[in-house]
A and B are shown apart, each in its own frame.
Chain A
Amino acid sequence: MVPPVVALVFSDVAGIASTSVGRTGARDGIRPGASPIPRPSVQTNSELADRPHTRRDPLPIRHERPLALAVTGSGGNGALTAGMILLAAVARAGLYGLLTRSAGPQIRGGESAAMLRFGPEPLACIGDRIDLLLALDWANHLRFSEELPLARTSLVLADPAAGTLPPVIAASGAALHPIALRAAARRYCDGRTNMVAVGVVGAVAGLPLAALLQGAAESLAPKGEAIVTAATACIRAGFAVVHGEATVTAAEASCPPAALARWNISGNEAAGLGALRGGVRFVAAYPITPASDLLEWLAPRLPRLGGLLIQAEDELAAINMVIGSSFGGVPALTATSGPGLSLMSEGLGLAVASETPIVVANVMRGGPSTGIPTKSEQADLDLALYGLHGDAPHLVLAPLDIADCAFTFDWATRLTERLQVPAIVLSDQALGQARAICDPPPAAPALAGRERAVPGAGGYARYAASIDGVSPMAVPGEPGHMYTAEGLEHNARGTPSSMAADHCRQLDKRWHKLVAHNYGPTWADIDGCLDSHPAALLTGAAPGGLCLITWGSSRGAVVEAAERLRRDGWLVRVIALRLLAPLQQAALRAAIAGAGAVLVVELNHRGQLFRYLHAQEVLPTTARVLAHPGPLPLRPAEIIAAVQALEDAPVA
């Protein structure tokens, strides 16, 4: 890392103010060495200068890792693009990263924020606070300020020309540095303030210029060479604001090594990829936030694998279309969010009764009703578990992080084909619309595929009982086993029947095939489990033997909290459930056994997993829950606080 060569000092001294950037050296383009070092313009009469916490010392470069930064603005002014470039730069700097976003429901003009956390280890959680905040403007800051917690150690960069400083920023105690973003943008790059911001924030975050430029080139390549060239000029200008121009020139030569083994992928893309890996070749769906980008990723790629995607007229159509495709032998998926899943309930029941394998991705958002479409919540577990009428056993899974979306959707697809049953996979906005620099996700365990009918004597009985409950499934086009798939209760041959014996036999068959299957070790991710601390876990003594149970996207914050607790001497295991139904009760009880305290952690109002686990009789009566609704994510610090509160409570 190159230390800053030129220290920029903010001052109210009039003489320095007179050298402010933006009015001097108006030359074409940006040629290293050809123009004076851009300096922040000092607003002698600005509010900023009057703020008591506004620092006058040099801009400190933030070398701590992991580091969380945010670029905020109004919809359309490029905060999210800046975030994408910074993520790509982080990758080129050889680091891991997690990019989340906050956006309002407006198409343009609303609030938008990109939040990036990066460091030398993989990250699945945005952390407790924003260390470095750059505001492109303050127009809509209040709408997401609660999603951007600042500490006294945080650093806020803002252009004094960006508008009135929100009181919430001043109240945070964070250090504030004025940055002449707009002046530099006007001078160098037709006003693309967000690209100057990439240079500024990248420099303050300690990222190499070459990584930033390469990140911009990769992210903006689809927009054309002219855009990349303009962005390059802006990023250089922003970088020079922090480091001085001599550094800009020197850094050009030092291209960082690329970490080629890593991926840059979003949760929705990973989910789509997992489905393709599992064999999905047909998708039908109705657009809905935040699932649409999963579909938009799949639409042009399915035909490359011989498949196709249909935009359905509604979710009722979508789920029936995928049932039709799967009946025809082509594995199928639909993707939706909570309101759409509600509409699909009847179709899910048909898939259960007719034993047709399908995958339903639910990229969860805040509910009920239209709720909070652009923001995350884990509040559809009840619907996924219990939302079908009749006794309708089915699979419910949840990916645990962005890369795990690929694994879990892959596995879910294979399970549905093996078991001839629908699966609901509960991703959420926090996974789906976030991107990570991560290691390539592993493939799901191989499973025997769909059992096909073979010619035999005595005619074909589609729904015949079998040892494992799975019966061979004929595919239209095959002679010899024509049958009618049936949503009415039926006998072994598929003939409608309302007789009690047929009903019981088919209910038993459909339940048995799910519980008889050996799901292997991937039903959960268990961290620090029995193998690592066997003796201590079995003592069950507080403060050792703490068991944190979670599911889906909350795992990242729980794992990070657990790591910090372990550093403080706690003995902690984390059980993150990937397979929620059928619940692996025996394995889960064994994994919990010996724990002195159990805390269930999830992002919904009243603890849906907690109540489910109690109903399934796997939790000790002393178990507690930390649940709060979205859209604010779970933070490691609040989990640690909840654990510490447990310690104070009496433990049986």
Chain B
Amino acid sequence: MDSTAIPSLGARDYKSDLKPVWCPGCGHFAVLSALTRTLAFLALPKHRIAVISGIGCSSRLPAYLDCYGFHGLHGRALPLATGLKAARPDLTVIVTGGDGDGFSIGGNHFLHACRRNLDLTYIVMDNQVYGMTKGQASPTTRPDWRRSRLTPEGTGMQRFKPAAIALAAGAGFIARGFAGDPNGLSHLLAQAIEYPGFAFVQVLSPCQTFRPESREWKTRVHPCAGAPARDPATAAQLMLTDDGMALGLLYAQVLPPFESQPRLEGDDLAAIEAEFAL
């Protein structure tokens, strides 16, 4: 890293001059601030960071940073980031998105990104609703939530348990933060970015517009009990039985990072072409 070669930056230096499209009071503002503070704390050079997203309110985040970014397809941020990180392991690659983007349309990629264990940081701003399409139920919405005209009787479906599913899929770093606790969130994000593998951070990020009841989350969140679990069985017990509001690093285990076959420089195409010569 050439971080010593650049003047130290403040959090504000990581922000672009674009004004977010988010509603007043949206939790995502706090996530953006926590992220820029983390990047400044880690003193990462802006041009060596790429933030990748899909589609949704939270997926607008990359454009609000003064880094490289890619605002791609709904649900496909993880594979795009996978291709980038695999091709350019020198970059710090962060993926941001929401619960619909990551757990519904992109659910398969979530599983396989956990398994693949590339050195990515995946931040999911979970507000338990589709905001950009005006308030439909997401995979983390309660089955009896009846405020959407699309599912007036509720979805009737079990809630998606992001942490437990990440654990089962093989993720080695699983944390839960809260937009109302920006300092705690910054701390988690710094650990996630520094973690040498796939780091998943679920951020409870209230939607004032479509889930006004989520203002009450600040009274319901609580720190997770004890140190982060290091064995999957303990972690599974915790994740499957908690109320989904426990904050902190839930599980941390260093796993073998993704490695393709060793990449060699120096061979040339002529040697490969020679295979075809008679």
The residues of A with any CB-CB pair to B shorter than 8 Å are 91-92, 258-265, 269, 273, 276-277, 281-282, 284, 299-301, 303-310, 312-314, 316-318, 320-330, 332, 346-347, 350, 354, 437, 440, 474, 476-480, 482-488, 494-496
Is the beta-carbon distance between B278 and A263 smaller than 8 angstroms?
Answer: yes
Give complex CA distance A284, B264 in Å.
19
Is the beta-carbon distance between B69 and A485 smaller than 8 angstroms?
Answer: yes
Total interface residues on B, CB under 8 Å, equals 52
Partner of A328, one of B71, B76, B91: B91
When distances are taken between beta carbons in the complex, the residues of chain B under 8 Å from A301 are: 272
Q: Beta-carbon contacts of B32-69 to A below 8 Å, as 1s and 0s?
A: 00000000000001111010100100000011001111
Give complex CA distance A92, B260 in Å.
38
- 17 sample A-B contacts, Cβ–Cβ < 8 Å, listed by A number: A260-B277, A262-B277, A263-B277, A264-B276, A273-B272, A277-B269, A308-B261, A313-B111, A317-B78, A317-B108, A329-B87, A477-B47, A477-B48, A482-B66, A486-B71, A487-B55, A488-B71
Is the beta-carbon distance between A324 and B278 smaller than 8 angstroms?
Answer: no
Given contacts A310-B260, A487-B72, contact A325 B87 (CB under 8 A): yes
Is the beta-carbon distance between A476 and B47 smaller than 8 angstroms?
Answer: yes
Given contacts A476-B48, A476-B88, A479-B45, contact A313 B112 (CB under 8 A): yes
When distances are taken between beta carbons in the complex, the residues of chain A under 8 Å from B50 are: 327-328, 476
Is the beta-carbon distance between A316 and B76 smaller than 8 angstroms?
Answer: yes
What is the CB-to-nearest-CB distance from B135 to chain A, in angstroms, rounded to a whole number?
Answer: 21
Confirm or deny: B143 has a beta carbon within 8 angstroms of a beta carbon on chain A: no
- List the B residue with the shortest CB-CB distance to A478: B47
Is the beta-carbon distance between A324 and B47 smaller than 8 angstroms?
Answer: no
Confirm or deny: B265 has a beta carbon within 8 angstroms of a beta carbon on chain A: yes
Confirm or deny: B70 has a beta carbon within 8 angstroms of a beta carbon on chain A: yes
When distances are taken between beta carbons in the complex, the residues of chain A under 8 Å from B213 are: none
Partner of A304, one of B69, B72, B88, B267: B267
When distances are taken between beta carbons in the complex, the residues of chain A under 8 Å from B278 are: 91-92, 258-264, 437
Beyond contacts A321-B83, A332-B83: 8 other A-B pairs, Cβ-Cβ < 8 A, are A92-B278, A284-B86, A299-B261, A304-B264, A324-B83, A326-B83, A329-B88, A476-B47
Is the beta-carbon distance between B80 and A321 smaller than 8 angstroms?
Answer: yes
Confirm or deny: B109 has a beta carbon within 8 angstroms of a beta carbon on chain A: yes
Is the beta-carbon distance between A495 and B63 smaller than 8 angstroms?
Answer: yes
What is the CB-to-nearest-CB distance from B44 to chain A, in angstroms, rounded to a whole number?
Answer: 12
Is the beta-carbon distance between A313 and B109 smaller than 8 angstroms?
Answer: yes
Is the beta-carbon distance between A303 and B73 smaller than 8 angstroms?
Answer: no
When distances are taken between beta carbons in the complex, the residues of chain A under 8 Å from B72 are: 320, 323, 350, 354, 485, 487
Give complex CA distance A486, B277 in Å.
45
Confirm or deny: B125 has a beta carbon within 8 angstroms of a beta carbon on chain A: no
Is the beta-carbon distance between B71 and A480 smaller than 8 angstroms?
Answer: no
Is the beta-carbon distance between B277 and A308 smaller than 8 angstroms?
Answer: no
When distances are taken between beta carbons in the complex, the residues of chain B under 8 Å from A474 are: 68
Is the beta-carbon distance between A317 and B109 smaller than 8 angstroms?
Answer: yes
Q: Beta-carbon contacts of B79-117 to A below 8 Å, as 1s and 0s?
A: 111111111101100000000000000001101100000
- List the A residue with the shortest CB-CB distance to B69: A484
What is the CB-to-nearest-CB distance from B278 to chain A, in angstroms, rounded to a whole number?
Answer: 5
Given contacts A323-B80, A347-B73, contact A282 B86 (CB under 8 A): yes
Interface residue ranges of B247-278 to A (CB < 8 Å): 260-265, 267-269, 271-273, 276-278
Give complex CA distance A298, B72 in Å.
27
Is the beta-carbon distance between A480 and B86 smaller than 8 angstroms?
Answer: no
- List the A residue with the shortest CB-CB distance to B18: A495
Is the beta-carbon distance between B82 and A324 smaller than 8 angstroms?
Answer: yes
- List the A residue with the shortest CB-CB distance to B273: A273
What is the CB-to-nearest-CB distance from A518 to chain B, in angstroms, rounded to a whole number?
Answer: 27
- List the B residue with the shortest CB-CB distance to A265: B276
When distances are taken between beta carbons in the complex, the residues of chain A under 8 Å from B55 are: 487
What is the CB-to-nearest-CB distance from B78 to chain A, in angstroms, rounded to a whole number?
Answer: 8
What is the CB-to-nearest-CB distance from B254 to chain A, in angstroms, rounded to a whole number?
Answer: 22
Give complex CA distance A495, B45 in Å.
22
Give complex CA distance A437, B278 in Å.
9
When distances are taken between beta carbons in the complex, the residues of chain A under 8 Å from B271 are: 304
Give complex CA distance A569, B152 in Å.
76
- List the A residue with the shortest CB-CB distance to B109: A317
The secondary-structure label for the interface of chain A is mixed
When distances are taken between beta carbons in the complex, the residues of chain A under 8 Å from B260 are: 303, 308-310
When distances are taken between beta carbons in the complex, the residues of chain A under 8 Å from B78 are: 317
From A306, A476, A478, A494, residue with most partner B Cβ within 10 Å? A476
Give complex CA distance A269, B277 in Å.
13
Give complex CA distance A441, B14 in Å.
50
Given contacts A276-B272, A305-B269, A484-B62, contact A314 B86 (CB under 8 A): no
When distances are taken between beta carbons in the complex, the residues of chain A under 8 Å from B263 are: 303, 306-308
Is the beta-carbon distance between B47 and A480 smaller than 8 angstroms?
Answer: yes
What is the CB-to-nearest-CB distance from A276 to chain B, in angstroms, rounded to a whole number?
Answer: 6
When distances are taken between beta carbons in the complex, the residues of chain A under 8 Å from B79 are: 284, 312-313, 316-318, 320-321, 324
Q: Which 10 A-B pairs have the closest CB atoms?
A: A324-B83, A321-B83, A484-B69, A324-B84, A317-B79, A325-B87, A320-B79, A328-B88, A330-B87, A304-B267
When distances are taken between beta carbons in the complex, the residues of chain A under 8 Å from B109 are: 313, 316-317
When distances are taken between beta carbons in the complex, the residues of chain A under 8 Å from B277 are: 260, 262-263, 440
Partner of A484, one of B70, B76, B80, B90: B70
When distances are taken between beta carbons in the complex, the residues of chain B under 8 Å from A325 are: 83-84, 86-88
Given contacts A314-B108, A316-B76, A488-B71, contact A284 B83 (CB under 8 A): yes
Is the beta-carbon distance between B71 and A320 smaller than 8 angstroms?
Answer: no
Give complex CA distance A308, B46 in Å.
26
Given contacts A263-B276, A263-B277, A305-B267, contact A328 B69 (CB under 8 A): no
- List the A residue with the shortest CB-CB distance to B92: A476
What is the CB-to-nearest-CB distance from B164 to chain A, in angstroms, rounded to a whole number?
Answer: 20
When distances are taken between beta carbons in the complex, the residues of chain B under 8 Å from A483 are: 68-69
- List the A residue with the shortest CB-CB distance to B261: A303
When distances are taken between beta carbons in the complex, the residues of chain B under 8 Å from A306 are: 263-265
What is the CB-to-nearest-CB distance from B194 to chain A, in angstroms, rounded to a whole number?
Answer: 20
Give complex CA distance A645, B54 in Å.
56
From B84, B261, B264, residue with most partner A Cβ within 10 Å? B84
Is the beta-carbon distance between A332 and B87 smaller than 8 angstroms?
Answer: yes
Give complex CA distance A479, B76 in Å.
27
Is the beta-carbon distance between A484 and B63 smaller than 8 angstroms?
Answer: yes
Give complex CA distance A274, B86 in Å.
22
Give complex CA distance A322, B76 in Å.
12
What is the CB-to-nearest-CB distance from B6 to chain A, in angstroms, rounded to a whole number?
Answer: 8
- List the A residue with the shortest CB-CB distance to B106: A316
When distances are taken between beta carbons in the complex, the residues of chain A under 8 Å from B67 are: 482
What is the CB-to-nearest-CB distance from A269 to chain B, in angstroms, rounded to a whole number?
Answer: 7
Is the beta-carbon distance between A327 and B84 smaller than 8 angstroms?
Answer: yes
Is the beta-carbon distance between B70 and A303 smaller than 8 angstroms?
Answer: no
Give complex CA distance A105, B151 in Å.
43
Given contacts A258-B278, A313-B109, A482-B67, contact A476 B265 (CB under 8 A): no
Is the beta-carbon distance between B47 and A479 smaller than 8 angstroms?
Answer: yes
When distances are taken between beta carbons in the complex, the residues of chain B under 8 Å from A92 are: 278
- List the A residue with the shortest CB-CB distance to B81: A324
When distances are taken between beta carbons in the complex, the residues of chain B under 8 Å from A269 are: 276
What is the CB-to-nearest-CB distance from A219 to chain B, in angstroms, rounded to a whole number?
Answer: 12
From A259, A325, A496, residue with most partner B Cβ within 10 Å? A325
Given contacts A308-B263, A313-B108, contact A476 B84 (CB under 8 A): yes
When distances are taken between beta carbons in the complex, the residues of chain A under 8 Å from B85 are: 324
- List the B residue with the shortest CB-CB distance to A323: B80
When distances are taken between beta carbons in the complex, the residues of chain A under 8 Å from B82 are: 284, 310, 317, 321, 324
Is the beta-carbon distance between A485 and B48 smaller than 8 angstroms?
Answer: no
When distances are taken between beta carbons in the complex, the residues of chain B under 8 Å from A304 are: 264, 267, 271-272
Is the beta-carbon distance between A310 and B83 smaller than 8 angstroms?
Answer: yes
Is the beta-carbon distance between B47 and A482 smaller than 8 angstroms?
Answer: yes
Give complex CA distance A419, B75 in Å.
27
What is the CB-to-nearest-CB distance from B70 to chain A, in angstroms, rounded to a whole number?
Answer: 4
